[in-house]
Amino acid sequence: MTNHPPASHAAVDRALAELQLGARRLAASSLDERINWAESCIAAVAATAHEWVEAACQAKRIPAGSTARAEEILVGPVSVARYLRLIIATLHELRTQPQPRLPGAPRVVHGQIRVPTFPTRELYDVLLFRGLTAETWLEPDAALDNLFGETPARLARRPPPPPHVALVLGAGNVSAIPVTDALTMILQNDAAVLLKMNPVNDYLGPIFERALRPLIDAGCLGLVYGGADVGSYAIHHATVDSVHITGSTASHDAIVWGADPAERRERQAANNPLVTKPVTSELGNVTPWAIVPGDYTDAQLQSQAESIAASIANNASFNCIATKMLITWKRWPARQRFLDLLDSILERIPARYAYYPGATERFAEFSGQSAVQENQGRLPWTLRRDIDPGADAHLFQRESFVCVAGETALDAASPLEFLERAVDFMNDQLWGTLAAAITIPERVRHEHLAELDAALRRLRYGSIGVNQWPGIAYALMSPPWGGFPGANLADVQSGRGFVHNTYLLDRPQKTVLRAPLTMFPKPSWFSTHRRPEPLAWKLCELYCRPSLWRLPGIFNQALRG
């Protein structure tokens, strides 16, 4: 799938020399300059959006007419345009006030600050995502009088920051990731960026070069191509001050501790990393979804099963936040009915081409099937029920990164005890700290609010979805996105640091995304939506060229889903 020859060392040297000059310009730039760059990028994203989506669909073999095409719109140009709109609003506010204006008042609960981060103050958010809210919780020792730390003053150039060059090692699965990672570094972290495209999706590089041309012309961004050898040369280059990677823990540890397993163990034992410059990362998760037992209507079970199915099928399950482990109550009378419902929805979703390298081998390992039945390179959605953590430990401790999900059942004396046990299980038995989800029946939510809040406080994940796939928090852009704080380089889990975070919150701990058990109209990211592509293009038009006159067309498409 690689379309570009790897960059030579001389080409990397030249790119970094130009970025050194760009870093000085960025450090001296005004808020108005950065706003102009971002606005120009939105226009360029709009101009390249259709080519961008067609290239991704061609590479992933998504045919014309497939509902999966909407994914490439929503997690491509739509997500990038949304990020740019939100950071422009923040930068505008910093021209006249010392900090961003939040969409609501922070509150302190059990000594911890909780800040609303969605819906934003944009009318579009309230109308288009009715019932969906996000609240970002800061670390427990954060203070109400210092929600933003030094970032707003730094962005307003009081005093100007020192020049900084960052290397971003781009993700190969979701097209918005390398772009928004780079934009976060440039527009929020004041770092000129060398973006190394991943060989899996480097066909998008020329399109990104046009979509981000204003930043390239300003000297703030450069793109290079190649594999691990090009990345390694850039990582250790004297000009690079910091590194950000979105990928796997294996890639991270090979970079930080060495590719040779023996050397890696020796270096970790001696706390002697190969890379001593700052390394931030987002590295995936065995994403759990716990179903708290209770009285659900048929419509609520249907909607939650559709949401889980979407979280598995999105991007052919090549997502760090694809649901990988359902957690149910052994005594739940509706358990088998719900799993049958989920299986029936997955059966109706067309199998997707397994475009990511190594998928067939990982499918064989994680599905438990000795012979893999491919259909023109397409693998079947697979839900393995009643998995035993002792017998199938790899499903709990390693992310499969393929279209296989498991289900495990916990015993407990009551639904509330199940909730407690599920939290312990997610925290202690599953690998990763990036995202988790919980489905909560209405009665538990209303009658046991304190117990539910205590469960959310105990969960050690960077994003938590209540009745909703936490991956949506990624696409919203206003909440911070990253693993739960506290990881170190030797045990990095889901990574270190946050991206997005367009309100510039200092020291976020987790984001809690809440939704009703059923949403109307049907969300565009559901795999069962009947017209997601026209709706996704309407959203792209809205974020690229905002106008209230676009809303009727969006609602028309949404209601037909």
Task: From 168, 233, 116, 31, select the one nearest 503 (Cα to Cα).
Answer: 116
How many residues in the chain?
561
Pair 436, 426: CB distance under 8 Å:
yes
Distance CA 77, CA 211 (A): 9
The tens digit of pLDDT for each residue in 371-412 reads 666 788 999 999 999 999 999 999 999 999 999 999 999 999
In this prediction, residue 1 carries a pLDDT of 47
Beta bridge partners of 114: 107, 137
Distance CA 422, CA 411 (A): 10
Q: Which two tokens stand for residue 340?
A: 């049958």
344 exposed, middle or buried (CB, 10 Å; 0-12, 13-18, 19+)? exposed
Pair 307, 315: CB distance under 8 Å:
no
Residue carrying the six token digits 């599920």 = 422
- CA torsion, ordered 241, 244, 249, 253, to nearest 10 deg: -10
Question: What are the DSSP E strand ranges found in 468-554?
Answer: 480-481, 499-500, 508-514
Pair 249, 283: CB distance under 8 Å:
yes
Strands in 279-282's sheet, in edge-to-edge order, are: 221-224, 192-196, 165-169, 242-246, 279-282
Domains of the chain and CATH, by start: 9-100+148-247 (3.40.605.10), 287-462 (3.40.309.10)
In this prediction, residue 370 carries a pLDDT of 66
Distance CA 344, CA 333 (A): 19
Q: 139: left (phi > 0), else alpha (psi -120 to 50), else beta?
A: beta
pTM confidence score? 0.97
DSSP secondary structure code for residue 389 in this structure: T
Secondary structure class of 243 (helix, strand, coil): strand
Give pLDDT < 50 ranges for the chain.
Answer: 1
Distance CA 179, CA 50 (A): 16
DSSP 12-47: HHHHHHHHHHHHHHHHH--HHHHHHHHHHHHHHHHH
Q: Which amino acid is located at 98 in the chain?
A: P
Secondary structure class of 244 (helix, strand, coil): strand
Task: From 73, 244, 243, select the one nearest 175 (Cα to Cα).
Answer: 73
Q: Which amino acid is located at 398 in the chain?
A: R
In this prediction, residue 369 carries a pLDDT of 82
Tell how far CA 323 is from the center of its chain.
Answer: 13
